[in-house]
Amino acid sequence: MRQVFYLVRKNLRRKPFRSWLMIGCMALACATLFLAAVLSRGIQDTLQTSRERFGADIVVVPAEARDEALSVLISGDPTTFYMPSSLEAKVRQTPGVGRTSAQVFLRSLDAACCVVQVALVGYDPERDFTIAPWVLRKTGGPQRDNQIIVGAKVISAVVGSPEKAIGQRLIFMGKPFTVATILEPTGLGTDYTVFLTLNVAYRLTWESPLYPVPVNKDEISAIMVRVEDGEDPAAVAGSIEAKNPEVAALTANLLTRFFSRELRTLVEILFLAGGVFSFLALALTGSLFALSVRQRLREIGLFRAMGARRKVVFQLIVLEAVCIAGAGGLLGVLAGFCAAYFSRDRITEMIGNMYIWPGGQSLFAVALLILLAALAAGILGGLYPACRVSGLDPYEAIRKGE
């Protein structure tokens, strides 16, 4: 086998331009497929993480504010809309509803951390089951009135790593607050949201002379709902809307599906491009490899006449194809990884705050899968010329080579 490897290396070095052209074609296809697979895996992780960290199964909002609610819940766009707080009791009485918690949405007027308005959300630390459990785990106690909980991407552009923001004082609506902790990324609007206690949120609108219209304590923006075990959130949401026509009930699955469409479209385009590149790469590589084998028929015939067995010739051709595909696959995976790593901020900016990059294990799994696919393509690409050429008699191979 060492002699076979030696001959393969010699053959590849003899025509470096053709060898690198075949390797480059395979690398381009693998790099594109790697990026598409990484984005696809990231979407799956984003959807799963978003469902787990969102905390609520259903969000109830005013029916006329459905689109605005989707905007703030998905993208964190600052917006305001209100409905009577008495609706929470009605929603809680709906069969299948386990727990409810009210939130009020505000739009910040100024913030030392940001050059644009920030979405502010007031919640009840005693009854909340979306943010409060996270605060208890991280700080060991409930959120105080002079503290804020900050989304993962609210101030990362200013202070760098989120850990540096903890303990800093930020000003909202003229009032100073201390950052108690930073939420983990969710892929939803929570990443761009600042959370206050409910009482403080109401008080800010009363005490700030610049806030357009103060919010009364009998007004809320959303009702977070957790359904009872075994209940279908979609069915419960339908019951809530049927009994309360003035509201819209948005399920967590609906929210994740809503923003996943745009991400999946991007991935489909990348997979399509990767498929086209792969087809062209395989076609070009196969043609060049077949031409290379055909040009060496006389050498192969002489090799056979000197005593080389058909098995050795077969191994020589297949191994050469595998080396080309393997080198192309490895370079493609490395190129795709470098493109993803050095362009991740740009890609995330283009996609939006909805995307969470996959972890190291996922990247390794994708890289291994792409590399194995490249090796499989090399084996398949080398089988036909290997079977055809190794089956020729030495004299016939020499005659055809001439």
Please write the tens of the pLDDT for every residue from 250-284: 987 777 666 666 566 766 776 777 677 777 777 77
Sheet containing 193-197: order of strands = 169-172, 175-182, 147-150, 193-197, 119-123, 97-107, 222-227, 58-62, 247-251
Instruction: Confirm if 322 and 371 have CB atoms less than 8 A apart.
Output: no
pTM: 0.62
- Written as six digits, the tokens of 330 are 């490895």
**High-pLDDT (> 90) share of the chain, %:** 19
For 105, phi and psi rounded to 5 degrees?
-100, 130
Query: What angle is formed at CA 347 by the lines to CA 73 and CA 256, rounded to 5 degrees?
Result: 30
The type of residue at 72 is V
What integer pLDDT is reported at residue 256 of this predicted model? 66
The runs of H, that is alpha helices, within 55-151 are 66-75, 87-92, 132-139
161-186 pLDDT per residue, tens:
556 677 788 887 778 888 888 887 77
- Written as six digits, the tokens of 26 are 């395979």
Phi/psi-derived region of residue 140, left when phi > 0, alpha when psi is between -120 and 50, beta in every other case = left
Comparing 362 with 327, the larger pLDDT belongs to 327
Average pLDDT for the chain: 77
The type of residue at 343 is S
**High-pLDDT (> 70) share of the chain, %:** 69
Instruction: Confirm if 186 and 131 have CB atoms less than 8 A apart.
Output: no
Task: Give the integer Cα–Cα distance in Å for 283 and 285.
Answer: 6
Instruction: Confirm if 49 and 186 have CB atoms less than 8 A apart.
Output: yes
Strands 175-182 and 147-150: parallel
DSSP label at residue 363: H
- pLDDT of 44 higher than 60: yes
Q: In a 10 Å sphere around its CB, with 0-12 CB exposed, 13-18 middle and 19+ buried, how is residue 101 labelled?
A: buried
- Written as six digits, the tokens of 42 are 């990231």
